[in-house]
Each structure stands twice: as C-alpha cells, then as structure tokens.
Amino acid sequence: MPFPYVIYRGDILRVDREDGIRGELFENENLRLDLSLAGSVPVPDTDKGARSGMPGLDPLIEVGMELNATLWRSSKRDHSFSFIVPLRMVYSVGSPLLEFQGLTLSPYFNYRIRQQDETMLARYGISIGPIFASNLYNEYFYEVAPEFATPERPAYDAHGGYSGSRITLSATWHFKEFMIGIFARQDTLGYRLSKYARRGDPCVGAIADVAPITAAVVASPVIHAIATTAGSCAPAESSAVTRSAVQDAEKNRKRLRTMTVSLATKAVAKLEPLITAMSVATADPKVSVCPMHLLSPVANCLDRAQTMKRDATSALSDPTVLHMNFETAELALLAADSTSHVRNLSGIIAALNKCA
C-alpha cells in the first residue's frame, strides 16, 4: 500500500527512505553505533485460542543501542557482510503508562546486496542469529500462572537466556518518487519454549513446529490468528490426551514447588545470621551518634532481610506457594550489601569505644 516518507538528516537522528529511522551515535569505516528501536502490537483478551481466559498483553516498545560491525565488503561496495548486535530495554504501554518488561539481545549476521542504475536502487538482505531475553521478558509472553492452568495448558514458569533463533529475508526497490519493500521473518523457539508449546493443544504445537514464532501461550497476533483459523484441527478430546495433560501439569507443579522450597530453605539459613548481625549492630548504644549515611543502609538491609525471611517462612509452611517474591541473585546481593554495611558501622562503633 502507498505510504508517505520523510527525509531528515540531523547530526544524530536521521530519517530517509533507504534505512528508515536511525540515530547515529558513532560511525567510522567499519563500525557504527546507532540507537535501536522496535515494538509490537497488543494482544487483546480472548475466549478462544491458546491464551483463552488469560489477560491480554499491552503493546511493547523497545529502546536501546545497536552495534554494527562490517566484517567484509566488496571492492565495488555492492556486497557486504556484517555482524549486528542490538541490545534493547522493553517497556509495555498501558496501565501503568510505562512498565519495564526486561531486556532483549538478538545478535545476527547480515549479508546485503546493493544494485543501482539510473532509475532504481535495489537492496536485498538475509540475516540469521540467536535470540536472548531476560527472565522478565519471557515471563511477560510465555508465563502461565497456576490460576490460569488448564488440562490443555499446564502451568509454566518461563526463564531467561537463550530463546531461539531468527532468520529474515528482505528486499526493497527505491525509485525516484516511491519505494517498494517486502520482508519475511521466522522466529524459531528455543528447546524449553518449543517443548512447552507441544504440551498443550496438538494443533498449536504443530503450528509452533512449522513456524514457531511463539509458544502455547502465544503472544503474536499473527500466529494467534493462524491458530484460531485452524479450527478444523481442534484437539481431539480423548481421555488419553487429557490424562497426559493433567499428568504434565502435576509434574510441572511439583517441579515449581521443589524449586520454591529449595530457595526458601536457603534463604532462611542465610538470612538468620545476617538479621542477627544487623540487629546487634543497630542495638549498640553508640549507634545514636553514628553518621546517618552509615546507619541508614544497615536499617534498610535489615528491613529487606526481615521481609524476605517472612516470605520464605510462609512459603515453607504453605504447600500451595509455587513462586518466591525474590530470586537467588537478589538474596546474594542483599547478603553482600548487609555484610559490607555492618562492617563499616562496626568499625565506627569500635573507634568510638576506644575514644571513650
């Protein structure tokens, strides 16, 4: 369809019909650092398809930087091979207005061909590379909380890391007054997500195997439309399939419970001595004359540690709890911070005792 375009060439921000919108932060012969922008459309609430009964997803915007390194180019500069590394922060747009949803890293190799004559500039490209995403990002798209689990869609705890691979084909033809462009892209899920996709609806699993842009908790409206349109291959409600799905859901619940108990047990064991050390340090009579910049961090760490311990103790006593409100990395960071702050405070108190 026809679409107007704008040409703008500033010191950093540039817009043209060849490369679209880009922000050039740094550039030399073989290396360029650009602003990187991306986004996705919302997924509405629905009573059909893989996300039936689950909340809709807000649209996303992605903002970050992209490093473009040219590894080879021909003498005529009409063929080039480059390695591109975009790292972006992802935000959902809704309520709240902007909410951080993690990070994406999708490095890829890109081969481009450029052909030009008096009437037209043609550009062709093929790119391929892995996709990595943070825990928070994968949770946004693929997480199935226990309250949304069904026999056909078991609970699923998404993790960060390798998420799959992507291949893109593109072609553009630039004429004097207009441009024509086409592209095709396939995202292949990583093992963990594609394995989960096959646990649910057999039709959705089959679609995920052929064009696995998303999993059983499909977030892409394109694949959602395909899954919905494929009503002719609705799942066979056989007792064997249902029984297998229930067994998978129970195995997944037990796995989550085991992970939760393990983390909660480690947390209690680690937090108790930290809480004791911080309580002793803040109870010393000399604390009242200590500088606030030394006392406040200890008090804040103590409050966080006590909250974590309450959550961990509650999780150990309640078998229905399948998630903790903190992760191992957060616990380790708290331990390091509290140890450092208590050491500083204790050193001040010891110095005051000597002076006395």
* Phi, psi angles (nearest 5°) of residue 59: -65, 155
Q: What is the pLDDT of residue 192?
A: 55
8 Å CB contact between 152 and 235: yes
**Global confidence as pTM:** 0.52
Cα separation, 91 vs 93, in Å, equals 6
What are the helix (H) ranges across the chain?
135-142, 191-197, 202-210, 221-229, 239-283, 292-317, 328-355
**∠244-250-255 over CA atoms, to 5°?**
125
251 or 23: which carries more pLDDT confidence?
A: 251
3-state secondary structure of 51: coil
Average pLDDT for 39-59: 83
Q: At residue 162, does pLDDT exceed 80?
A: yes
Q: Is residue 275 packed enough to be buried (19+ CB in 10 Å), middle (13-18) or exposed (0-12)? A: middle
Q: At residue 144, does pLDDT exceed 70?
A: yes
Write the pLDDT tens digit of every residue in 169-206. 999 998 877 888 898 999 887 645 554 443 333 333 32
Average pLDDT for 312-338: 79
211 or 177: which carries more pLDDT confidence?
A: 177
3-state secondary structure of 153: coil
* Tokens read off for 91: 């935000």
Write the pLDDT tens digit of every residue in 109-130. 999 999 988 888 899 999 999 9
Cα separation, 5 vs 20, in Å, equals 9
Average pLDDT for 304-325: 83
Q: What is the pLDDT of residue 218?
A: 35
Show the beta-strand stretches assigned E in 74-160: 79-93, 98-105, 108-116, 121-133
3-state secondary structure of 347: helix
Residue 245 banded pLDDT, cuts 50, 70, 90: low
Provide CB contacts within 8 A for 42, sequence distance 6+.
Answer: 56, 57, 58, 59, 94
Sequence spans of domains, the chain: 8-235, 252-355
8 Å CB contact between 202 and 240: no
Residue with tokens 């080879």: 72
Average pLDDT for 137-163: 86
Cα separation, 337 vs 330, in Å, equals 11
Does the N-terminal peptide bond of residue 130 adopt cis geometry, omega within 30 degrees of 0? no
Q: What is the DSSP string of 168-203?
A: EEEEEEE-SS-EEEEEEEEEEE-HHHHHHHTTS-HH
